Amino acid sequence: MIITNVGSSVPSFSLKDQNGKVFNIDSIKGKSNLVIYFYPKDDSPGCTKEACSFRDQFEVFKKEDALIIGISGQSVKSHLAFAKKHRLNYTLLSDEGNKVRKLFGVPTSLLGLLPGRVTYVVNKEGKVVFVFNSQLNTDKHIEEALRILKELK
47 included as an active-site residue: yes
* Choice among 10, 47, 118, 122 that is catalytic: 47
SS (HEC) of the chain: CCCCCCCCECCCCEEEECCCCEEEHHHCCCCCEEEEEECCCCCCHHHHHHHHHHHHCHHHHHHCCEEEEEEECCCHHHHHHHHHHCCCCCEEEECCCCHHHHHHCCCEECCCCEECCEEEEECCCCEEEEEEECCCCHHHHHHHHHHHHHHHC
Could you list the active site residues? 47
